[in-house]
Amino acid sequence: MSGLVLIPLPGNEAMAEKLAALLDGELRLPEMRNFPDGETYLRLNVDLHGRHAALVCTLDRPDAKFLPFSFAARTASELGAASVGLIAPYLAYMRQDRRFQPGEALSSHLFAALLSPQIDWLVTVDPHLHRIHSLESIYPVPNRVLHASAAIARWIALNVDKPVLIGRDNESVQWVGEVARATGALVVVLDKTRRADLPKADLAPYKDCTPVLVDDIISTAHTMIETLGELDAAGMKPAVCIGVHAIFANDAYEQLRAASPARIVTTDTIAHESNAIGIAPLLAGAIKDVMV
């Protein structure tokens, strides 16, 4: 795309390079460092006047990333960019979408209010939309919400023999169902309220299948680890664990590996050693669309 400059914040260089190639855009790395007192120095060494600046910044561990992103977005605007967009494959602060206890910060709305005035458009992948019915309700800028289900389905079709998709609970039926429909695989849902009492007979028809656990976010991995234990106790084959966003808090990845799944696979919305499903083509198509 003529006039597009992709500017990756630290840790996003690989994704920005893929997008630059797909979009025929210019890739320019910002100059960043920290002063001895911890403050951030940032320089955008590129002529942005009349051009579209696309900041590539996935927002896992967002607190340390937000201020440098904010400096980059504001600076791009001050340097005359025709538009400033955010490509955030993972969008943070979506879970706290209501006050569960008196006095809690409604952080999903507060974060959106901080971020929105700094950008002209936003592209993200599978944000945690639970009680928020659409991203537009809290992000007023033009945006595209993408879904990794088709890319995950393609990977399963190419890499898993006789898959049966395992949903963790009734809440996951719709999400897991999208992947199942694209693969033609069967779905078994294990309701969290009764999983400890799940009869082995529920899984008996699938003993010759490969269980596939699919979730949008793998954070603590506790649910996947518990489910792997149940599948093992039921005599199922080792399962494949798939997640869209590889958060893996603390030692969650090591704990999940210790539970002995056949494989752990994630998309590259967050850079991690488990990445095996690329979403750059998905992002590139949406970027073209939102910038029209």
Buried b (16+ CB within 10 A) or exposed e, 1-30: beebbbbbbeebeebbbbbbebbebebbbb
Strand boundaries in the chain, DSSP class E = 4-8, 26-27, 31-34, 40-43, 52-56, 83-88, 121-125, 143-146, 163-167, 186-189, 210-218, 240-246, 263-267, 275-277
- At 206 the three-state DSSP class reads helix
| pTM as predicted | 0.92
Copy the structure tokens of residue 126.
């599978």
For residue 1, the model assigns a pLDDT of 61
Look at residue 192 in the predicted model and tell me its pLDDT.
54
120 CB contacts (<8 Å, ≥6 apart)? 83, 84, 85, 141, 142
Contact partners, residue 53, CB within 8 Å, separation at least 6: 5, 7, 76, 81, 83, 84, 85
Task: Flag residues of the chain having pLDDT under 50.
Answer: 194-201
Going 128 to 172 to 147 to 231, the CA torsion angle's sign is positive
Q: What is the pLDDT of residue 172?
A: 66
Q: Which residues partner with 246 through β-bridges?
A: 218
